[in-house]
Structure 1
Amino acid sequence: MDTNDAPQLIEHIRHSVPFTPNDTKWIPVSARFVAMGIYPKATGAISVYELKHGDLKTVAELEKPNGIKCSSFGASSLHERHLATGDYAGIMSVWDLELPDVPIYAAQAHTSIINAIDGCGGQNIGYGAPEIVTGGRDGCIRVWDIRVSSPVVTLAPSDSKHVRDCWTVCFGNAFNDQERCVVGGFDNGDLKLYDLRTNTLRWETNCQNGVVSAQFDRKNIEMNKLVVTTLESKFRMYDLRTQHPEKGFPCLMEKAHKSTIWQGRFLPQNREIFMTGGGNGGFNVYKYNYPSSRAIKDADGQLMGICGSVQLLNARVISTQPIVSLDWSPDREGLCVLSSLDQTVRVYIVSKTQKY
């Protein structure tokens, strides 16, 4: 790794919080971000911060009945900017951060903790209706339209006695009003791709280790790449453009952080650059390089995808505790917010991303 001309990882702000920060998200079209988590007394924390003249200003500090595990702005318009959250009691709520005392929508989404949440159809990203997907410890994945009280799609395990914990969910393939896919990752390493248009399981594989995080490089295009992070210090990059009838999608596997990789997030302004956050308290910035040809024909004449390669641009260890969430700013290229289990949120600037 040559760091002479690499993107620089510059700490802009470090701020301690009185709760365990499970998630952080930038508020779209603003210089604000939200940090969410759980207080020592098991109540929920939602704190809003604003960047102002190089300092961090606390805008609001809210306490909720249950700890907050995950969040998304993906299903809300840029005008409303409503925050969807999943909590430790299995309740999915949607909040107006201007009037945050009572949620504008709430539903008992799962029987226990909601591990992951994602949104699609808002923020001028993706086609179709605004929807929220949740994944929980009960092994279910549910898709919600907040205009109705019950889930529009429920994907539940057929064997209720042997339920696998769903650790991550994400939307993708929303390139027109009909198409939309959901990926679910489970604690036994299962990775499943569901087609919401046909209501079928389109593809599944096993990653050999529990799937902690998954994200498409873009939600509003034909599915192109999927980064999947797992336990045992591995991440996988799937090329989703060509599906072989027997071998499925091609996969590139890399090791990083020497511990669990908690997050993998693509840069919104450049889908070839992505960042991973690890259990060693470090984060790595990578660039994906496409192969000269993305598909070849096998001996039977079937098209088979080819993976490219990843290049480590820079890395930095910033904490002794795992980095459990990271989020790129949708408005300022290279600006990101990270939270770690040492009860600290950090704002970093990743420079020179436009050069790649």
Structure 2
Amino acid sequence: MTSQMRAEIGEQPDALRRTIDALLPRVPDIGALARETRQVLFVARGSSDNAAVYGRYLVEAHAGRLATLAAPSIATAYRRRLDLSGVLAVAISQSGKTEEIVETLDWARDCGARTVAVTNGAGSPLAEAAEVALITQAGAEIAVPATKTYTTQLAALSVLGLGLGAGVAEDDLRRVPDEVARMIALTEASPALPEIVEALAKVPGTVVSGRGIAFGTALELALKIKEACYLHAMGLSYADLLHGPIAVVDAQTPALLVAADSGPTLPGTVALARRVRGAGASAFGVGGGAELAEACTAALPGPALPEWVAPLGLIVPGQIMVESLARRLGIDPDVPRGLNKVTQTD
């Protein structure tokens, strides 16, 4: 029986196409705010926070602006006023109803920031609070683990990057929906999928690692493994992993390594795969092309996209793997225990 999560994974090409078509005309609106700001502050939680990590690397690597992740508790718990003049605050929430995120965006505006919202909730409190609302077109998402709402957030952040002056090609973004459709078919046909699922079903946890623009994908994949499969999953930059936590990688703790098929962090990911296997552990790849696949125990294919936009397709094999692993473990991936679709925090 097909889970709702798997059905929504399959809806991503259309959701992405709708979102990209709807949001690319907003580039001039973002550009107007860009002329009045110099740095970007991302406000998010959960999967949206992992999307923000992608946004941060995109803005810094390709638009040449300092970008940081907000600590919402500064606004909501400590209630400290900061000078945010010259800051573009970008709040990300799938529903647009998380009170902490709305309150933090209001706080940022009161502190002098210009404001953008990224949400799937048209008419939501977050959309109403922002000067520019980038409304994703994912449609209703029923399964608790975010899939199409996450990838459409990445699409919205790609548009944000274009509006902020990122020196990248719009045509790369337009190719994403077809590439995601190809990724779904390739992953489901890959002999590596059941091999990786079976291996992960026999261990208590895994380390998930990536770096740079792929780092947010590693964090999101680790989150999905935790929430849908109830396994321990540590999401780390491979630079941080090498600073000590790599000691946990062993025969009972494999590594999942995530990378685009090109870019400056690919060689380091390949070297990490070789080191992991040299230590007697399994290394499973997601993306990274033939070079990473050769270095790994087994690997799922990645999207044929430039690094800046690769995360929109790179998470898809991971989503399919997580859904398959949850069912292999006898877990309903649609309704993980203890979780709700909209999470409220203090």
| TM-score for the superposition, normalised by structure 2 | 0.28
The structure with more helix, counted as a fraction of residues? 2
Higher RCO (Cα < 8 Å, 6 or more apart):
2
Which structure has more strand as a fraction of its residues? 1
* Alignment TM-score, normalising by the size of structure 1: 0.27
